[in-house]
Structure 1
Amino acid sequence: MKSSNVFPTLRRGALALALTAVASLASAQSMHVVLDTTGLSANSSGWLDVQFNPASVPAVAASALVDHLGGFDAGSTPQLNGDVQAQAGGAFLFGNGTDWNDLFHAVHLGGKVSFDVSFSGLPDPSLAAIPSLFSVSLYGADGVTQLGHPDINGSLLSLSWNPAASGAGQVGVAVVDAGVASVSAVPEPSAWLMLGAGLALLGLARRSPGRLAG
């Protein structure tokens, strides 16, 4: 095969791999949440309130795993309510089996508070698609004073888990206070591998055709 046919084929293959990887990133079920508290209260303590509640009970079973915590006060005892369980390594697993599932945890203000949250759940063939809402709020040292500019429910951001008729559900993102809260997708390892392979092929295709001509 002549090089004039080889390189367009390589480019098309690389582009297909890269697009597949980007699509995987966009549909990721794991999110990285960051709360920038530098402008809220310097060098003090506060509280993070995280809830994962279904729109109605009973709902199709779903869970939210919170891990890779940053800025949390490891010396404090978290308050757990409803279907929330502490896990090894400081993680927390939320279920949606009750109408109020809540984690209230001490954090260090004046810097960044961060964590990853990974969603999973059963499909909903009934097409009722009852969502479960993962919401995040911040409070001062008294545990009562809300920080930032939350919505009417006190949330700085919320992530909705929406079950699908088959396969994985969908995650919806709503950032209320963009000056404090930010959310980004955590890519799956397979997505990074595909993206890397696509970029490598693109780099190969841009080399001089004379080097690979047969």
Structure 2
Amino acid sequence: MFASTLNLTLCRAVLAALLAGSSSVALADPLGYHVEIDTSQFSGAGFLDFAFIAGNSPAPGATATLSQFTGAFGALETQEGSVTGSAPGTLTFGNSSAYNDWFQNVTLGGKFAFNIVFGGDFLNTAGNAGTTFGVGLLDATATSYLGNVNGNLLQFELTPLNGGLPASIAGSTYASIASISAVPEASEWMMLTGGLALIGFALRRRRAVTPA
């Protein structure tokens, strides 16, 4: 009876710790995100425009790394500034140039997705100017925006340290066809997996000591 009660108490304690950990992860500014863009309401050719632009005054260094692309990507149309790689593949943006842009041919009608991870000096260097990462969807003429006639479907605002305020990353969507979700870091996955394994072990021990 004592062993059974102890195991149940342990399970509850571990579960409470996991829930508390999950809440703190959700409230903190993660560095990695998953982005999805649903173009099923459109058809034909189009363009995805990825831009990484620093503020007017000198901004602390920042990077945006895009990977795990899915969707009907075509050939690169134009590239400008501090951008390297390929899509689909991996794209790495810097904010050292005035305008850092990747303009990609796509075939509309399906879903596009990618993961994005931010990094750089802005996380621990004070500054008055941030950096914006945005994604826009354009028609075949490259003159009209789709999903949001005013511009980007989504944006991330990277704000450096400023006085007593820590650096932050804020993601926003401006169209129903775009979504952003946080991607837990590897250490957070390990914490959750380890906690669940501990619960499973405790439950097995509980069943083993329960009288038939």
Secondary structure of the 1:66 match is: strand
Corresponding residue number in structure 2 for 1:109: 108
Residue in structure 2 matching 1:182, options 179, 183, 195: 179
Corresponding residue number in structure 2 for 1:32: 34
Q: How does 1:67-106 map to 2 (within 5 A)?
A: 67-74=67-74, 76-86=75-85, 90-106=89-105
Unpaired stretches in structure 2, ≥5 consecutive residues: none
Distance 1:82 1:147 in 2: 25
C-alpha contact (below 8 Å) 1:18/1:198 kept by paired residues: no
Corresponding residue number in structure 2 for 1:198: 195
TM-fit CA distance, 1:73? 2.5
C-alpha contact (below 8 Å) 2:51/2:134 kept by paired residues: yes
Q: Given the two structures, how large is their TM-score scaled by the length of structure 2?
A: 0.82
Deviation sequence 1:125-148 (CA, Å, 0-9, x none): 43x353211111110111112111
Distance 2:59 2:89 in 1: 27
Deviation sequence 1:15-63 (CA, Å, 0-9, x none): 3145325534654311111110011x22x11000111111234111010
- Relative contact order (alpha carbons < 8 A, sep ≥ 6): 1 or 2 greater? 1
Please, what is the CA RMSD of the aligned residues? 2.9
Distance 1:140 1:15 in 2: 49
Secondary structure of the 1:68 match is: strand
Corresponding residue number in structure 2 for 1:155: 152
Q: Which moved more, 1:185-194 or 1:9-18?
A: 9-18
TM-fit CA distance, 1:81? 0.9
Q: How does 1:114-129 map to 2 (within 5 A)?
A: 114-122=113-121, 123-126=123-126, 128=127
TM-fit CA distance, 1:180? 0.9
Q: Given the two structures, how large is their TM-score scaled by the length of structure 1?
A: 0.81
C-alpha contact (below 8 Å) 1:150/1:176 kept by paired residues: no
- Aligned pair in 2 of structure 1 residues 191, 150: CA closer, same or farther (>3 Å)? farther
